[in-house]
Structure 1
Amino acid sequence: MLYLPVSIVFANAILADGAVTLEHFADVLTDPFYVGVLADVFADPLAIGTHLASLAGWLGAISLSISLEYPIPGTDVPIPWLAVETPGVRTGLFGFTAYQAALSTVASVALGLPAAYVLANYEFAGRRTLRSLTIVPFVLPGIMVAVGFYAMFGRAGTLNSILGVVGLGPFPFVETNPLAIVVLAHAFYNAPLVARITVAAWESVDRRAVETARSLGAGERRAFRDVVVPQLAPAILTGALLTFIFTFMTFPIVLALGGLGLATVEVWIYDRIQRLDYAEAATLAVLETILSLGLTYAYLRYESAQAGFSRAATDRPREALFPDLETMLSPKRLAIGAYGVVALVVFVGPMASLVVGSFTDGSGFTLRNYAFLLERQLDGASFQTRPLPAIRNSLLFGLATLLVAVPMGVVISVLTVRAGRSGTVVDTLAMLPLAVSGIVFGIGLLQGLVFGIALPGGWRLQITGAVAIVAAHAVAAYPFVTRNVSPLLSSLDPAMVESARALGASRYRALIDVELPLVASGIVAGAAFAFAISIGEFSSTVILASGSESYTMPVAVERYLGRRSGPAIAMGTLLLVVTAVSFVVIERVGGRYEL
C-alpha cells in the first residue's frame, strides 16, 4: 500500500523511453530555479576553489534584518517582521521550502511548548478534556484550515471585526504578508503535535532528580536547565523534526494562502503533475524524499544515543493553575494568561470562525447550510453525498485503523529497540510514510493499485474500497505510534525484564506483562494520533473511495466545497464536533491503562 505505489511514480524519474537515466536529476540539480546557488556546485563539483570563493561572498552578503510591513494600530510605527536578507544569493525552490519550514518549525515549537508546560504541571478544571482536544487541529483538511484563517485574519474576518469595535482596522493581514499567515497556519497544525509529544515527556520527568539538584544548592532555573531540559530535549526534537518534515512537504495551505508566488517543492510537484510532466514531478519527489529520510535518520541516530531519556508517565501532584487572587497576579501566571490570549487568536479563532461561518451568510444568521445537509441526508439518491454515511465511514475507518496501526507501530518499536544501532536503518525506512509526498502517494495509488497491475498468468492486482482505505490509513498512521512508543520502550530498565524472566516468565510474557504496561502512555498517545490521521486523511481516501458509499468527512467537505462553500463549512463544523468527542472518549478510555 506504500512502497509499490511510490515506486511506480519514482520510476518516472529514472526511466526515459524504457532505459535507465540520470538526465532528469541532472536537469533539476543544475537549474538555479530549483537549487539556487548550489546549481554551479552540482554542474561542476570539482571546481572546489571557485565554489569556496563564492561561498565566502555569499556568507558576506547574508544579513539579519527587520523588514517593515504595515503600521501598528493608532501609530505610524510599522510592525516588524524578522527576515534574513540574502542580496544576490538565490535560494531556489528547495531553499525557500526549507526557509518557510524552518520558520514554521520555530513558530510551532514556540507555541507548543508553553501548552505542554501548562498541561503537564498545572491542574485546572477541564485539563484532561483540553489535552484531548489539542489534537483536533491536526485532523482538519488543509483547505478548511485555509478557509478558517481567511475567516479569522481576512479584511472582513473575525479579528478585524473585534478590532473594529474599538475603532481600529481593518488591517490587510493576509494580503500584506501571506508568508506570516502561512507560518501561523502551519503552527496551527503542528504546535498541537509538539505539545502532545512533549506533554508525555514532561509528565515522565524524574522529579526526584529535580529535588536532589535543589537540595544540592541549584536554583529553580539551574535545576530546570540541567535536569529537566535534557529529559525534554529528545521529545522536543521529535516534534520539531516531524514539524519540519510536514511543513517542508506542505501543499494545501501554501497553495490556498500563497499560491504559486509562495510555491514550495510540494506545490510545484502538484503543478507539474497538473501539466502532465510526470518525469520532473517524480524527480522532485525523489529528491524531497531523500532529504526527509536523511533528516529522519539523523534524528533516530540521536535518539538511540539518548536511550534512557524518558520514563513512563507517573502520577505526581500538579500545582493549581489559579489558586488565589495573589497567585493569579504573579509574573508566571500573567505570562500563562498572555499565552492563553495568543492561543485563543491562533487556535480557537480560526475554528470558531469556521463554526460562526456555518451559521451565517451575507445577510446574517441562518440555518440554510445545515438545512442543505439535512436535505441531502433525507434524499435517498445513492449518488448524493450525505452527512451521516460520511460520519459513519470516518469513525469506522478510524477504529479499524487503530486495530491495524497500533499493533504495527508497537511491533516496529519492539524490533528497532531490540536491534539497537542496527535497527536505525530499519526504523528510518519504517518512517517512509512521513517522508513521502502525499500527492505522489495518491498518484501512485491511482496509476497502480486502483487501475490495477497486470500479473503473470492473466491475473490482475487491483485494490479499492473500504479495506484498501483502512490499509492506506494504517500505513500513514503507524509511524506516529512508533515515535510515541519507541522512546519510552528504550528507556525501560532492563533489570525489570530480567527479573520477570528469572521468575519464569517467557520473553513474550515479559513484554505483555511488564514492558507494554509501562509504555501505555505512549501507546495511548500513538492511538490518538493514528485515529486523527485516519479521520483527517484525504489524498488516498478520495482516490480509493470507489462507488458512492466509501466517502469520509474530509471527502464530503471537498465535494460540497466544489459547489457551495456554506455547506462545506457546515460539514467541516460537523467534522470538528465528531472528532473532538472521539478524542475525548479515546483518551478517557485509554487513560485507564496509563500508570
Structure 2
Amino acid sequence: MRAPDRLQHAVDRFGLPAVTVGTGVVLFVLLFLPVSLVFAEAFGGPSPLQSFRDVLTDPFYTGILANVFADPLAVGRHAGNVAAWVGGIEVGLFSLTVSLPPLRKGLFGFTAWQALLSTTASVAIGLPGAYVLARFEFPGRDTLRSLTILPFVLPGIMVASGFYAAFGRNGFVNWLVGLVGAGPFNLLETNPLFVVILAHAFYNAPLVTRITTAAWESVDRSAVETARSLGASRRRAFRDVVLPQLRPAIVTGALLTYIFTFLTFPIVLALGGLELATVEVWVYDRIQRLQFADAATLAVLETGISLALTYAYLRYEAAQRAMGGGDGPEREPLFARFDAKRVAIAAYGLVVLVLFVGPLGSMVVESLTDGGGFTLKHYAFLVERQATGQSFQTKPLPAIVNSLAFAAATVLVAVPMGIVVSVVTTGGERGGSGGGGNSDGRGPGRAVVETLTMLPFAVSGVVFGVGLLRGLVFGIPLPGGWRFTLTGTIAIVAAHAVAAYPFVVRNVAPQLAGVDRRLVESARSLGATRTRALLDVEVPLVATGLVAGAAFAFAISVGEFDSTVILASDSASYTMPVAVERYLGRRFGPAMAMGTVLLVVTAVSFVVVGKLGGRVESDSRPGGGRP
C-alpha cells in the first residue's frame, strides 16, 4: 500500500476518534482545569459551606431573599412578608402612577433585573431587523446581513468609548436632537442604566436578528399559502403559521442574550462603575482587592445560575427543534412603493442609525479630529509607531496580522471541535426519514452532558481569565518539581477555540440532528468507516451551519480580549483589541484610530465570509452550483 493510501486509511479509521480525544484534551486543559482552580478557592477554606451561607444570607447580595436563605423553614413568616409587601402597593385609579414599596433586589437581583431589561430591549430592536432582512430585497442586503456579526468583534472598552462619544453632552445624539431644538441631554450622568441597556442591545440585538432571520428564511411557504387559500387573513396566517415556526428562534435568541447580559462585565464597569455593579463586576472588584475566596464563592453561585439557564435553553431548543426547513417567504422590493409599512421601516432605520451607527461613527470621528478640527495625526502616530517603535511597544501591523491569523487558526480548530461535540450530543436524536430531529430520544442525562460542553456560555470572562492566569500562566505543579505552563500562540488559539466552538455547535447540531439516519447507515453498510460517513454524507448536508459557525468563530476570535491579554507572551503576539486597550490607556485619539482599523478589517472579512457562505448555501441545495 502506498504512503498516501496508508495515510488515507489511517484518517478514515482513526480520524474521528483522534479528533474526539484532542477535543477532550483541549477542553480539559483550557476550560475545565482553569475553572476548577478558581472554584477550588471557594471550597478550600476550613468551612467551605460557610462562605456560601454568608453570601446567601447577606441582603447586600440577595436582597429580600436573604431572610429566606437564613431560615428557609419559616414559610409562614416569609408568606406574611410577601403579603405585607403586596398590601403596600398603591395604584392610582385616576392616574397613571403606581406606588410600590421599596424592593431590595440585592446584587444578584439587580444583575437579573438589568439582564431582563437588556434582553427585552435586544429582542424589541432585533426582531424588526429580522423582518426587514427576511421579507424585503434591497441593494446591499447581503452585505448588511454579513455585518450583523460585527458587534461580536468589538472590545467592550472600545464600545464604551463609542457610547461616551455618542451619548455625552457634545456627542452625536445631542447633535441629532439639537436639529429639532431639543436637548442637550447627558444620559451618562442622569440615567446610566439606560445607556448600559442600550449598549447591551448594541451587542445582542444583531444576534437576535441573525438567529431569527435564518428561521424566517426557512419558514414553510406552502403552509402559509394553504392557510391563505382556506380564508385566513394575512395577519391570521402570520399568527397561526409563521409565528409558531419563529418562536423557537426568538426564545433561543432571548435566552442567549439573557445569559450573556447576566454575565456582563466591561460595559457595566465602564459606563456604570460600582454604582451599577453586577455580580461579574463585583467578582472583578474582589479579585482586584485580592479577596480571592469571596470572588470564587460569587463565581460559583454565578456559574451555577448561568448553567441552569444554559440547561433550560438547551432543553427548550431540543423540544422545539424544527421538523424541517422550508424555502421561506418571497422577498418583495423594499423601495417598490411608499406606504405605512415602509414609513415604519424608515423610522426603525433611524433608531438603528442612532444606536448602532452613532457609537461607531462617533468613534471614527474621534479618530479624525482633535480640539482644532479635522486631522490625520492619530493615524500618522500609528504609522510612526509601526516604523520606529521599540520591540516592547504595541505596533499596529503585527496586531492586524495576528488577529487575522489567530482567527483563521481558531476556525480550523473550533470547527472540528464543534463537529465532534455535535456528533456526541445529537447521537440519539437523528432524523429517521429526513423529516427532522426527534427530541424524544433525548433524556436529561444527554442534556446535562450538552450543558457541560456549553460551559463557555456559562462561565464569565473574568473567571475564565483568572483561571488561565493562575493555572497555565503561573504554571501547574507536576511530580518531580516540574511545572506545566502554556502561553503564546498555541495557547491563544486554543483559548479562542474553546470560547468559539459552542457557536459552531449551536449552528451545526440542529442541522445534524435532522440528517436522515438511514443515509449514514447505508454508507456504513457499503463499507464506509464512521469518519468517512461523517465527512462524505453528514458534513456536506450541514455545510451552511458549518459556514455560519465558522463565521461566529472568526468573529469571536478577532474580538477576544480577556484570554489574549493574559496568554500573550510579548507585544509581538498582541491582537487588535489588545492594541486598542493599550493605546486607550495612554492616547485616546490613536486608540480610536486603531479601533477604526479594527472595524474596517473585520467588516471586510465578514463580507467575504458572508459571500462564501452564500455560495456554499447555493451549492448545498439540490442542483445548486451546477451549470
In the superposition, the TM-score normalised over structure 2's length comes to: 0.87
Q: Deviations over 1:468-516 (max 9, x none)?
A: 0000000000111111222233334546556666777665555434433
Q: 1:75 maps to which residue?
A: none
- Report the Cα offset of residue 521 of structure 1: 2.3
Match of 2:68 in 1: 41
1:322, 1:151 → 2: CA distance? 33
Match of 2:413 among 404, 426, 429: 404
Identity value in percent: 70
Structure 2 Cα separation of the partners of residues 425 and 63 of structure 1:
44
1:111 matched to 2:125? The reply is yes
From 156, 161, 164, the counterpart of 1:150: 164
Going from structure 1 to structure 2, the CA distance change for 1:491 and 1:8 (only over 3 Å counts) comes to: same
Task: Give yes or no for contact 2:219–2:329 (8 Å, CA) kept in 1.
Answer: no
2:256 maps to: 242
Decide whether the 8 Å contact of 2:218 with 2:328 is kept in 1: no
- What is the CA distance between 1:85 and its match in structure 2? 6.8
* Aligned mates of 2:114, 2:356 — CA distance in 1: 20
Give the stretch that moved more between structures: 124-133 or 486-495.
486-495
Q: Distance in 2 between matches of 1:196 and 1:2?
A: 28
Secondary structure of the equivalent of 2:427? helix
Q: Which residue of 2 aligns with 1:283?
A: 297
CA shift, 1:61, in A, is 4.3
1:185 aligns to 2:212 (yes or no): no
Separation in structure 2 between the aligned mates of residue 506 and residue 484 of structure 1, nearest angstrom? 25
The Cα offsets for residues 536-559 of structure 1, whole Å up to 9 and x where unpaired, read as 111110010012211000100111
CA separation of 1:126 and 1:538: change in aligned 2, threshold 3 A: same
Amino acid in structure 1 at the alignment position of 2:613:
G
Look up the match of 2:549: 526
CA distance in 2 between partners of 1:198 and 1:480 (Å) = 15
Deviations 1:372-396 (A, max 9, x none): 1111000152111110000000000
In structure 1, C-alpha distance between the alignment counterparts of 2:100 and 2:540, rounded to whole Å? 52
- The equivalent of 1:7 in structure 2 is 36
State the shift of 1:46 in Å: 1.1
Q: Measure, in 1, the Cα distance between the counterparts of 2:242 and 2:540.
A: 24
Of the structure 1 ranges 182-191 and 510-519, higher mean CA displacement relative to structure 2 is found in 510-519
**SS of alignment partner, residue 276 of structure 1:** coil
Instruction: Please name the residue that 1:22 is paired with.
Output: 49
- More deviation, 112-121/287-296: 112-121
Shift of 1:235: 1.4
Number of equivalent positions: 572
Q: C-alpha deviations, 1:536-584, integer Å up to 9, x for none?
A: 1111100100122110001001110111111111101111001101111
1:358 Cα shift? 0.4
- How far did residue 182 of structure 1 move? 0.6
Cα deviation code 1:146-166 (max 9, x no counterpart): 111111111100121233344
Match status 1:264 vs 2:281: no
Matched, 1:489 2:512: yes
What residue in structure 2 maps to residue 360 of structure 1? Answer: 369
Give the letter aligned to residue 305 of structure 1.
A
Of residues 572, 593, 597 in structure 2, which corresponds to 1:549?
572
Range with greater deviation from structure 2 (506-515 or 416-425): 506-515
Preserved contact between residue 477 and residue 484 of structure 2 (Cα < 8 Å) = yes
The residue identity in structure 1 corresponding to 2:501 is Y
**Alpha-carbon deviations, 1:154-211, whole Å to 9, x = none?**
1100121233344332122222211111100000010011111111111111111111
Give the distance between the partners of 2:453 and 2:231, measured in 1 at CA.
Answer: 45
Checking the alignment, whether the CA contact within 8 Å between 1:198 and 1:235 is kept in structure 2 is: yes
Which residue does 1:539 correspond to in 2? Answer: 562
8 A contact 1:472–1:540 mirrored in 2: yes
What CA distance in whole angstroms lies between the structure 2 residues aligned with 1:379 and 1:572? 21
The 1-side partners of 2:70 and 2:274 are apart by 27
8 Å contact 1:307–1:490 — kept in the other structure?
A: no
User: Judging changes above 3 Å, is the alpha-carbon distance between structure 1 residues 235 and 344 closer, same or farther for their aligned structure 2 residues?
Assistant: same
Would you say the 8 A contact 2:130–2:209 is kept in 1? yes
1:566 aligns with 2:589: yes
1:57 equivalenced with 2:80 (yes/no): no
Task: Report whether the alignment pairs 1:424 with 2:418.
Answer: no
Instruction: Give yes or no for contact 1:455–1:461 (8 Å, CA) kept in 2.
Output: yes
Q: Do the aligned residues in 1 keep the contact of 2:255 with 2:313 (CA within 8 Å)? A: yes
Instruction: Specify the alignment match of 1:378 in structure 2.
Output: 387
In structure 1, how many angstroms separate the alpha carbons of the residues matched to 2:527 and 2:89? 65
Alpha-carbon distance in structure 2 between the residues aligned to 1:214 and 1:230 = 16
Counterpart among 200, 206, 224 of residue 238 in structure 2:
224
Change in 2 beyond 3 A, CA 1:490/1:349: same
State the 1:137 CA deviation: 1.4
CA-to-aligned-CA distance 1:34-80 (integer Å, 9 cap, x gap): 00111111111111111122223334446899xxxxxxxxxxxxxx9
What is the CA distance between 1:519 and its match in structure 2? 2.6
Q: How does 1:492-507 map to 2 (within 5 A)?
A: 492-494=515-517
Question: What code does the residue aligned with 1:526 have?
Answer: G
User: Does structure 2 conserve the Cα–Cα contact (< 8 Å) formed by 1:249 and 1:437?
Assistant: yes
Do the aligned partners of residues 402 and 155 (structure 1) sit closer, same or farther apart at CA in structure 2, a change above 3 Å counting?
A: same
SS at match of 2:426: helix
1:135 aligns to 2:149 (yes or no): yes
Residue 473 of structure 1 corresponds to which residue in structure 2? 496
Give me the whole-angstrom Cα distance separating, in 1, the residues matched to 2:543 and 2:592. 37
Measure, in 2, the Cα distance between the counterparts of 1:118 and 1:28: 47
TM-score (norm 1): 0.92
String of CA shifts for 1:120-157, please: whole Å, max 9, x gaps. Answer: 22111111111111111121111111111111111100
Change (3 A) 1:20 1:454: farther
CA-CA distance at 1:286 after TM superposition: 0.6
After superposition, the Cα gap between the structure-2 partners of 1:370 and 1:113, relative to the gap in structure 1 and judged at 3 Å, is same
Q: 1:207: which partner in 2?
A: 221
SS in 1 for 2:232: coil
In the alignment, what sits opposite 1:344?
Answer: 353
- The superposition leaves residues 69-109 of structure 1 with CA deviations (integer Å, 9 ceiling, x where unpaired) of xxxxxxxxxxx9xx997523211000011010000001101
**Kept after mapping to 2: 8 A contact 1:61/1:88:** no
Question: Is 1:320 aligned to residue 329 of structure 2?
Answer: no
Contact 1:230 1:309 in 2 (8 A): no
Q: Give the 3-state SS of the residue equivalent to 1:37 in structure 2.
A: helix
**TM superposition shift of 1:308:** 3.0
Stretches of structure 1 lacking an aligned partner (at least 5 in a row): 66-79
Q: SS at 1:250's partner residue?
A: coil
Judged with a 3 Å threshold, the aligned counterparts in structure 2 of structure 1 residues 450 and 310 are, in CA distance, closer, same or farther, namely farther
Equivalent AA in structure 2 for residue 298 of structure 1: A
CA drift of 1:222 comes to 1.6
Q: Tell me the SS of whatever aligns to 1:90.
A: coil
Counterpart check, 1:512 vs 2:565: no
CA contact (8 A) 1:517 1:593 kept: no
- In structure 2, the CA distance between the partners of 1:169 and 1:37, relative to structure 1 (3 Å rule), is same
Residue 71 of structure 1 corresponds to: none
Equivalent-residue separation in structure 2 for 1:565 and 1:270 (angstroms): 24
Q: What amino acid sits opposite 1:28 in the alignment?
A: V
Q: Which amino acid aligns with 2:266?
A: P
CA RMSD, Structure 1 to Structure 2 (Å): 2.1
Q: Given the superposition, is the C-alpha separation of residues 62 and 462 from structure 1 closer, same or farther in structure 2, using an over 3 Å criterion?
A: farther
| Structure 1 contact 231–309 (Cα < 8 Å) conserved | no
The CA deviation at 1:6 is: 1.0
Aligned residue identity for 2:455: L
Shift of 1:246: 0.9
In 1, the alpha carbon distance for the partners of 2:412 and 2:160 equals 32
Kept in 2, the 8 Å contact 1:234–1:309? The answer is: no
Q: Which stretch has the larger CA shift, 424-433 or 197-206? A: 197-206
In structure 2, the residue matched to 1:74 is none
The answer (yes or no) to whether the contact 1:200–1:522 under 8 Å persists in 2 is no
